[in-house]
Structure 1
Amino acid sequence: MNQCTSVASLPPPKYAVALADPGQSPETGHVLCELGEGHEEAHAAMLWDKGGRPGSAVWARWGAGPARLTPLPWCAVLDPRDADAACGLFAGHPAPHDWEIADPTDEAITRELARQHPHLFR
């Protein structure tokens, strides 16, 4: 399944704007939904993880309104191809798991790099 293509803009936090040098204000950033296409729940993008503890990952979640930051626990389902790797999405996410989601842009870049540099891709 392909990755969802929803994008959200995240304005810089007010404290970052207040601390910035005059004329050097931080810019709005953009995040891409990491869930599989066609999901019915809010979109989601992981921003950072504070150490792998339950609820330590901070996700941006958005729908019709502005994005909000939410700490969520990690999905504990193990990748059947690698018993040491768990799903990289949050617990309770809509199906499918991250190993079943393809980023078409990343795949296109990889194909082009493999064409240009076949010795790097075996």
Structure 2
Amino acid sequence: MNQCTAIALLPPPDHLVALSPAGHRPEAGHVLCELGSDHDRQHAAMLWDEGGRPGSAVWVRWKGSGLAKLTPLPWCPAHDTRNGACELFADHPSAHSWGITDPTDEAITQVLVRQHPHLFPEYRGED
């Protein structure tokens, strides 16, 4: 499943603006939804994790072009067959992270595989 392509523009937090030197206002930044394309209308992107404790990951959630909201969420407890943890929050509304493909990342990888096949032995024998 492809990753959702929704983006949100996050303005810098007020406290960061207040602490910034005159003439050096922090800029807004974009975040890309990390959920699978089949999720509900609420988008999500992880901003930071404070040590892997339950509820320590801070996510930004938004709908459409509405206001983005920061919220701490616990990690998804699911693991794949190689015991890799899902990189999304608990009760996320789409596939687990290992089932989501970033189409831009995959397109870049395919170009690099063609240009430098010796660097990508896992792609040998694929078109």
Instruction: State the TM bucket, normalised to the shorter chain.
Output: over 0.9
Gaps of 5+ in 2: 122-127
Give the aligned partner of residue 74 of structure 2.
Answer: 73
* Cα deviation digits, residues 26-63 of structure 1 (max 9, x gap): 10001000000021141000000001010000000000
> How many equivalent pairs are there?
120
Please tell me whether the aligned partners of residues 55 and 72 of structure 2 are also in contact (alpha carbons under 8 angstroms). yes
Deviation of residue 77 (structure 1)? 0.5
* Cα deviation digits, residues 60-119 of structure 1 (max 9, x gap): 000042100000000001112x12x11000000013100000000000111111122222
Give the aligned partner of residue 93 of structure 1.
Answer: 92
* Aligned residue identity for 2:68: A
The 5 A counterparts of 1:42-61 are: 42-61=42-61
Identity %: 66
Deviation of residue 20 (structure 1)? 1.5
How large is the RMSD of aligned CA atoms in angstroms?
1.0
* Aligned residue identity for 2:43: H
Instruction: Write the distance in 1 (CA, Å) between the matches of 2:80 and 2:56.
Output: 21
Please tell me whether the aligned partners of residues 41 and 94 of structure 1 are also in contact (alpha carbons under 8 angstroms). no
* Aligned residue identity for 1:48: W
Q: Does 1:107 align with 2:106?
A: yes
